[in-house]
Chains A and B, each alone.
Chain A
């Protein structure tokens, strides 16, 4: 699970998405962390709940979709629910 957080930051850098840009997307999706907290999560200084981590993943995946790539980041909660 710690690896999955690194995936988020790697994806953000790959997309060239600034931290503020990611935060606006994340907030629009219902995220409840401040921009500073989001940054702390991405750099591993703060542990995000599975749900919070998924909202960040959705924000990144939607940017991937905009630039014509598939949704490369798996969701923790969604995939767990799908397995049930």
Chain B
């Protein structure tokens, strides 16, 4: 008699041989290297072992300002439960000022990350390393272009660089965003602009602060004549800045940041520069909207993963109980749900509840 685990989340092509399955088969090896914590994960990350991995992530996040590198080189299998740990890790690490990086991601896990679009949310190490991890058999064409959180800031970097290069009279530019209730410079073409931004955050005033919070453009044509920001203006003059033009970034109708352009020359900016700045700020707004959309996507995907996990478990139970394949088990769940007039999720919960009540039988007819 083959032994089936009571709860089996394995699915389809990723399903490991059942006889090799061991619920405790998760190996975690932790190495601390300065600011980086490298966690090598081996074996299966599923509903039974994911909490262990989640605990490690929590411990790393609690250290603050620590980067977590998850090395998946020896990982055999991961589905919904593991993905939820990855999503949670990304959120927790960003809250605690750490980077979260996936290293040596196996091809089957990459596929799941692509399906869920989490490949664009998570930092996955470079294509060369990914290719090495999945072997020489993989064609470069099959590989996703690894993208990361940094890509978003790269986009805003480009907006700042374009502003500095294309706005006539500009000597530098930066992009400020509201993050966690604070203003943060996420891209800057030079240190002068960066320091000018920080002076504004520290004094709580200036064209950038005004544009990012009020949602309209603010133009300081000359430090010599400006009287709206008495604390900031002398600091700007001290940096050698003569003029600043700040244009708001808008997402979902609300100000979310600003594009700031400065010049060392008084009265450098006029209407034509203002027009170019607005065009570039619109680009920046689009990028920020995409970030916000990503947050929404992450929330909905997490919800969907929770439901999917329950369905996958019930599928595993039916596969074990009736000695059927994954898609047959899915079909049995669909049929059971329809005849009981409930959702497949509710049917799956019902199948799982039947595990602890062995006398219940025939809830879903076999194939």
Chain A residues close to B by CB (< 8 Å): 24-25, 27-30, 32-35, 51, 54-55, 58, 61-62, 65, 71, 75, 77-78, 81-82, 84
Given the known interface contacts A27-B301, A29-B308, the answer about A78 and B335 at a Cβ–Cβ threshold of 8 Å is yes
Q: Are A30 and B115 in contact (CB under 8 A)?
A: no
Q: In whole Å, how far is A83's beta carbon from the nearest beta carbon of chain B?
A: 11
For residue B297, give the distance in angstroms from its CB to the closest CB of chain A: 8
* Closest residue on chain A to residue B337 by CB atoms: A58
Known contacts A29-B308, A51-B330, A77-B331; A34/B117 CB under 8 A? yes
A82/B117 contact (C-beta < 8 A), A24-B304, A30-B330 known = no
Report the bound CA distance from A32 to B11 in whole Å: 10
- Is A71 within 8 A of B338, CB to CB? yes
Cβ of B325 to closest chain A Cβ, rounded Å: 10
Bound complex: CA A61 to CA B312 (Å): 19
Report chain A residues within 8 Å CB of B327: 51, 77
Contact A24 B301 (CB under 8 A): yes
Size category of the B interface is 20 to 34
Given A24-B303, A28-B303, 20 further pairs, Cβ under 8 A: A24-B301, A27-B115, A28-B345, A29-B308, A29-B344, A34-B115, A35-B117, A51-B331, A54-B330, A54-B334, A58-B337, A62-B344, A71-B338, A77-B328, A77-B330, A78-B331, A78-B335, A81-B331, A81-B367, A84-B367
Asked whether B315 is an interface residue with its Cβ less than 8 Å from the other chain, the reply is yes
Give the residues in chain B near A27, CB-CB below 8 Å: 115-116, 301, 304, 308
> Is the CB of B151 closer than 8 A to any CB of chain A?
no
Binary CB contact string for chain B from 294 to 318 against chain A (1 if under 8 A, 0 otherwise): 0000001101110110011001000
Q: Is B182 positioned at the interface, with any CB of A under 8 Å from its CB?
A: no
A interface footprint on B335-351 (CB within 8 Å = 1, 0 otherwise): 10110010111000000
- Which A-chain residue is minimally distant from B315 (CB atoms)? A30
The reply to whether A33 and B331 contact each other, CB–CB distance below 8 Å, is no
Return B32 CB to nearest CB of chain A, in Å.
Answer: 36
Interface positions of B from 108 to 135, Cβ below 8 Å from A = 114-117
Structural contact, B331 and A54, CB atoms closer than 8 A: yes
Interfacial chain A residues near B311, Cβ < 8 Å: 28-30
Docked Cα-Cα span, A34 to B114, in Å, equals: 7
Q: Give B330 Cβ to nearest chain A Cβ, in Å.
A: 7
- C-alpha spacing A72/B33, complex, angstroms: 58
C-alpha spacing A72/B344, complex, angstroms: 16
In the assembled complex, the Cα of A78 lies from the Cα of B328 at a distance in Å of: 8
A-B residue pairs, 6 tightest by C-beta: A28-B304, A28-B307, A51-B327, A77-B331, A78-B335, A27-B304
Q: Which residues of B contact A35 (CB under 8 A)?
A: 117
Given A24-B300, A62-B344, A81-B367: A30 and B308 within 8 A (CB)? Answer: yes
Across the interface, which residues of B come within 8 angstroms of A61, CB to CB? 338
Task: Decide: A33 near B115, CB < 8 A? Known: A62-B344, A78-B331.
Answer: yes
Complex formed: what's the CA distance from A61 to B338 in Å? 9
Tell me the smallest distance from the CB of A68 to a CB of chain B, in Å: 12
The distance in angstroms between the C-alpha atoms of A51 and B305, with both chains bound, is: 20
Pull 23 A–B residue pairs with CB atoms less than 8 Å apart, ordered by A.
Answer: A24-B300, A24-B301, A24-B303, A27-B115, A27-B301, A28-B308, A28-B311, A30-B312, A30-B315, A30-B330, A34-B114, A51-B331, A54-B331, A54-B334, A58-B337, A58-B344, A71-B338, A75-B331, A75-B338, A77-B327, A77-B328, A78-B331, A78-B335
- Given the interface pairs A27-B304, A62-B343, A65-B343, the reply to whether A32 lies near B335 with Cβ below 8 Å is no
B31 on interface, CB distance cutoff 8 Å: no
User: B325 — nearest CB in chain A belongs to which residue?
Assistant: A51
B12-A32 in contact (CB<8A): yes
Instruction: Let me know if A81 and B312 touch, CB within 8 A.
Output: no
Cα of A82 to Cα of B315 in the assembled complex, Å: 18
* CB-contact partner of B115 in A32, A51, A62, A71, under 8 A: A32
List residues of chain A with CB within 8 A of the CB of B315.
30
How far, in Å, is A53 (CB) from chain B's closest CB? 11
Q: Bound complex: CA of A61 vs CA of B332, how far in Å? A: 16
